[in-house]
Every structure is written in C-alpha cells, then in structure tokens.
Amino acid sequence: MTAIPNSAEKQTKDFVKYQVTERVGYITLARAEKRNALNFEVVSELKRAFAFAEEDDACKVIVLRAEGKVFCAGADLEYIQRLQENDYHENLLDSTHLMELFRMIYTLKKVVIAQIHGHAIAGGCGLAAICDFGFTVPEAKFGYTEVKIGFIPAIVKVFLLRKIGESRAKQLLLTGDLITAEEAEKYGLVNYVVPADELEKRVFAFAQKLCNENSKQSMEVTKEMIARVQGMGLEEGLQYAAEMNAVARGSEDCQRGIASFLNKEQIKW
C-alpha cells in the first residue's frame, strides 16, 4: 500500500487495510493475487473495517480502494464452487453475509467514495456502485457477468435498480456485457472519469472538499433520507421530509451554519 503522510494506520487482518489521513478514512482491498475477489473472509474484514470507520472520530469521509491491477473481480469462483456442496440454509447464511455488507455501505452514516483504479466486475461492480460517489480511470471495465456463468446478480440488482433505473439495469444484468468507464459514467454507475495519474489526488481533493465544506450531521441525515424515502409513497415521503426538515432547523449544525452565513464568517466543518 502506498504510504500516505501524517496517517494513522490499522490492519484489520490480511485482506483489508484501514488508515486515516486528514479525516479521510481509506479502506483498501489487499488481495491483489486473487484480483481482490470476495469470499467469506474478505467480506468479514470489509464489514469490520466499515464498522470501525463509521465509529472512528478521526474519519469523516471514507474512500474504498484496492491494491493490484483490478479493483475487484467479484466473487471468488473457487469459493463459490466449494459452496455448491452446502445445503440451502448454509448458502443462505453466506449470501446474507454479503447482503449485510452491501446494506452496511448503502446505509452507512458517512459518505463513501469508490476509488476505482482497475476493472470492477460482477460483485466488484456492485461494490463500486453501492458507494455514494465513484471515481474511475478510463481503462477500467464495468459489468455484471453473472448470467454468463449460470449465476444471478441477486443482491447487487436491488441497489442497481435504485441507482440507474430499470432500463439501464436490464441492459447490464441481462446481457452480462462489459462497458467502458465512459459508458459507466453515462449510465450513472460512477460520477467521474479521471486519468490514472490523477486518480488518487482527485479523490483526496473531493473527500477534503466534503470534509471542510459540509456538515457531518447534514450529510449523514441527507444520505439516510435518500435511502428511506424511495420506499415511501408520495404522501408518506412528503410527511417524512417535512418532519425531518423541522428537526434539522433545531440542530446545532444548522444554527451554527446559518449564524456563520449571516455574519459573513467562513465556517470550517
């Protein structure tokens, strides 16, 4: 892993690393020899890392990145092959384990940015897409190839439908075709395509912008509302929004922010 100045570093076990630099928490997949493929242990370590980062007061924004040439190749197929010997209930426990990771990232209190330096395929594409923001290099390929090996993109589709809509999701999930980084940006899978030699600094600058310019509390509540309101009907959603609006007005961050604006003072969050 590239050394970053002025950082506190923590290794969760073998496959995932965690460190903080200037309030940016980096969670790094470190299974390069297996193209950062996901198995039970990797998912467990990712869950521990995200749980740690969420409670870490030194971390305000999280970046998910990876070592090696590939961001994440999806499920470890040798591991999946071994799971075929399991019964339904054993497989349900394992798939629930992965579901919990995706749900954790989606509902995490802190903003999560994917720093995608290489291909993101199948579950790896789901991992990238589940993040709140995605930065990728032009050379990266994206796609959900499960149908090509007789598998299904079961868990990722729940979040993909929310992110890019039914038409785009069908195009990706039913064809199993890979798309370019530029196409991924057009689809809404990622937000920015940047040159490889600029990726790390661009992601860090964006994370710093969120850290310095935005209220932690406001980002947390806004992210939670985005996740919850999509499951509500119109009237329920509007009532929920009005109630949250009223609560926010009395928050300390709102009072601080408005006072600073009215007094023409620069606030640093």
pLDDT tops 50 at residue 4: no
Active site residue: 146, 183, 185, 200, which one? 146
Between 106-120, 156-170, 254-268, the lowest mean confidence (pLDDT) is in 254-268
Residues 6+ apart with CB under 8 A from 24: 59, 60, 61, 62, 63, 204, 207, 208, 211
Tell me the pTM: 0.92
Active site residue 45: no
Residue bearing the bigger pLDDT, 1 or 62: 62
For residue 55, what pLDDT band results from cuts at 50, 70 and 90? very high
For residue 258, what pLDDT band results from cuts at 50, 70 and 90? confident
Question: What's the pLDDT score for residue 35?
Answer: 96
The closest alpha carbon to 73, from 4, 148, 9, 144, belongs to: 144
Please work out, in degrees rounded to the nearest 5, the angle formed at the alpha carbon of residue 141 by the alpha carbons of 34 and 177: 105
pLDDT in tens, 58-114: 999 999 999 999 999 998 988 888 888 889 999 999 999 999 999 999 999 999 999
Question: What's the pLDDT score for residue 61?
Answer: 98
Return mean pLDDT, the chain.
93
